[in-house]
């Protein structure tokens, strides 16, 4: 592995040099173990501790197949799906690997007693499989996390609709929280030149998801002037949704849970901010009963911030706890676009407010290659910035996932894989210097 790292750190390594590097037999990876899938049985979700289930260990390098690439991972990041995997909720990810493994002899490689997790990476291509022409050893890349087979016609308008669509590093093995990752070559995108490895690895999953959910025609199709209610506006998804709203001429109404988080949203340029803790919204009277008076109080607060207007789009992901309020506060003809259910997936809302006011609920999930590419392009051009707040070492991934599970983090949490320290990998200093305050916005909070 040292030889690989030396080649990446040297400035004069050619593609041929990279291609000639020997691939090690094993690599260090963050894993969960199949025989521990019941380790948290009976423990409340909140108390399930990723530090107990996530391991750092040596695993064999997988065989490289057609259309695939082996990538030396310099940095990765923790997403909420790393939390779901590590607490085995809502289901153990080994079920995904078993099902995928049944598809073909090649996919059978993924069905193992351990799962290498992680759905983001920034690094360098080491080897490409047969049929890969666009990428070569030595290319500096990031990877988006859409894995598709595309053998069916269904996925050929929008690859997210492929029946064999999976999230790499969550529903497939050999993910990015490791020194080496296996990806399909159509997951690769150019690494933004002005960013460090850890900054480049941070946006991937959430930035692409927020792009489809909010901007793309497949999601809410946001337009100039739209009022956009963004839950968790300084979190992983929300910190990108807020930037897309601002950059696209919309008006974000940012919901957060502390003055500190409100401050970050303000520093991004948002003006309408609601601190849900300070204003103490209680949308549920008890586990089974919602309180429409609280929806109304929330709606009134939004109108105070928008000169009396209602929201065109709600950027939803908390799910059960907020969904009733989200449907209520959306304007007539508006859109509630949802990609998750962090607080529970059995949503309840008053359907009269939906049908009588001709609102739409749109489901959105990750992004197709084109959407991920467009989202990455905006990062590369310095129009949208990474929201990295803190970076951990690979052996601290359990702690990083714990922080995200407990909502102790801001924006995105990075993880160094092969990169020996933060701050490396910048190729365009001029563009970086131009945007440095924005790139570091989440760092010192």
Ligand X SMILES: NC(=O)c1ccc[n+]([C@@H]2O[C@H](COP(=O)([O-])OP(=O)(O)OC[C@H]3O[C@@H](n4cnc5c(N)ncnc54)[C@H](OP(=O)(O)O)[C@@H]3O)[C@@H](O)[C@H]2O)c1
User: Any contact of residue 407 with ligand X (CB under 6 A)?
Assistant: yes
Q: Contact, 64 vs 126, CB < 8 A? A: no
CB of 195 to ligand X, least distance (A): 19
| Selection from 260, 230, 235 nearest residue 248 by Cα | 230
Site string for ligand X, 288-317 (x = CB under 6 A): -----------------------------x
User: Any contact of residue 175 with ligand X (CB under 6 A)?
Assistant: no
Question: Measured between alpha carbons, how far is 301 from 329 in angstroms, rounded to an integer?
Answer: 10
Question: Measured between alpha carbons, how far is 276 from 65 in angstroms, rounded to an integer?
Answer: 49
Within 42-101, the residues that bind ligand X by CB under 6 A are: 79-81
Residue 91's alpha-carbon distances to 103, 199, 345, in angstroms, are 20, 30, 13
Q: Contact, 113 vs 33, CB < 8 A? A: yes
Q: Considering beta carbons, is residue 282 or 300 the nearer one to ligand X?
A: 282
Q: Considering beta carbons, is residue 30 or 256 the nearer one to ligand X?
A: 256
What are the phi and psi torsion angles at 262 (to 5°)? -60, -40
Which residues on adjacent β-strands are paired with residue 181? 71
Q: Considering beta carbons, is residue 135 or 244 the nearer one to ligand X?
A: 244
Q: Of 172-180, 217-225, 251-259, 266-274, which segment contacts ligand X by CB under 6 A?
A: 251-259
User: Any contact of residue 365 with ligand X (CB under 6 A)?
Assistant: yes
Question: Measured between alpha carbons, how far is 259 from 102 in angstroms, rounded to an integer?
Answer: 49
User: Any contact of residue 321 with ligand X (CB under 6 A)?
Assistant: yes
CB of 218 to ligand X, least distance (A): 12
Choose which of 318, 324, 398, 414 interacts with ligand X (CB under 6 A).
318
Choose which of 4, 143, 201, 237 interacts with ligand X (CB under 6 A).
237
Buried residues in 314-344 as b, exposed as e (16+ CB within 10 A): bbbbbbbbbbbbbbbbbbeebbbbbbbbbee
User: Any contact of residue 117 with ligand X (CB under 6 A)?
Assistant: no
Question: Measured between alpha carbons, how far is 25 from 18 in angstroms, rounded to an integer?
Answer: 17
Number of chain positions touching ligand X (CB under 6 A): 30
Q: Considering beta carbons, is residue 257 or 399 the nearer one to ligand X?
A: 257
Site string for ligand X, 206-235 (x = CB under 6 A): x--x---------------------xx-xx
- Binding interface with ligand X (CB under 6 A): 79-81, 205-206, 209, 231-232, 234-238, 255-257, 261, 276, 317-318, 321-322, 339-340, 342-343, 365-366, 404, 407
């Amino acid at each position: 592995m040292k030889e690989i790292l030396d080649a990446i750190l040297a400035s004069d390594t050619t593609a041929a040099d990279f291609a000639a590097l020997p691939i090690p037999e094993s690599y260090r990876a963050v894993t969960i173990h199949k025989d521990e899938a019941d380790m948290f049985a009976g423990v409340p979700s909140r108390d399930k501790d990723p530090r107990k289930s996530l391991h750092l260990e040596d695993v064999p390098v997988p065989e490289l197949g057609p259309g695939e690439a082996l990538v030396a991972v310099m940095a990765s990041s923790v997403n909420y799906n790393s939390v779901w995997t590590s607490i085995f909720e809502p289901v153990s990810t080994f079920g995904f690997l078993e099902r995928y493994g049944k598809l073909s002899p090649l996919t059978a490689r993924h069905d193992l007693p351990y799962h290498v997790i992680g759905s983001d990476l920034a690094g360098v291509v080491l080897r490409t499989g047969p049929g890969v022409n666009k990428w070569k050893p030595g290319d500096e890349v990031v990877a988006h996390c859409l894995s598709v087979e595309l053998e069916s016609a269904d996925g050929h308008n929008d690859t997210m609709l492929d029946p064999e669509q999976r999230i790499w590093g969550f529903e497939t093995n050999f993910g990015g929280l490791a020194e080496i990752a296996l990806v399909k070559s159509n997951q690769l995108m150019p690494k933004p030149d002005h960013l460090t490895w850890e900054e480049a690895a941070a946006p991937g999953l959430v930035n692409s998801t927020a792009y489809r959910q909010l901007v793309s025609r497949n999601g809410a199709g946001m337009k100039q002037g739209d009022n956009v209610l963004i839950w968790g506006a300084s979190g992983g998804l929300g910190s990108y949704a807020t930037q897309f709203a601002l950059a696209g001429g919309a008006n974000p109404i940012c919901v957060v849970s502390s003055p500190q988080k409100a401050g970050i949203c303000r520093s991004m340029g948002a003006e309408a901010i609601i601190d849900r803790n300070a204003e103490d919204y209680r949308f549920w009277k008890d586990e089974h009963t919602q309180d429409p008076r609280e929806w109304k109080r929330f709606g009134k607060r939004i109108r105070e911030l928008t000169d009396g207007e209602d929201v065109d789009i709600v950027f939803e992901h908390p799910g059960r706890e907020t969904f009733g309020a989200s449907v209520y506060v959306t304007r007539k003809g508006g859109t509630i676009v949802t990609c998750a259910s962090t607080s529970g997936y059995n949503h309840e809302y008053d359907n009269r407010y939906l049908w009588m006011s001709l609102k739409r609920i749109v489901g959105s999930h990750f992004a197709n290659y084109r959407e991920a590419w467009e989202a990455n392009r905006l990062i590369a051009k310095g129009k949208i910035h990474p929201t990295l707040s803190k970076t951990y070492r690979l052996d601290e991934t359990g702690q990083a996932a714990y922080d995200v599970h407990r909502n102790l983090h801001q924006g995105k949490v990075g993880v160094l894989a092969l990169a020996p320290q933060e701050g490396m990998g910048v190729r365009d200093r001029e563009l970086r210097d131009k945007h440095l305050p924005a790139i570091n916005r989440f760092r010192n909070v």
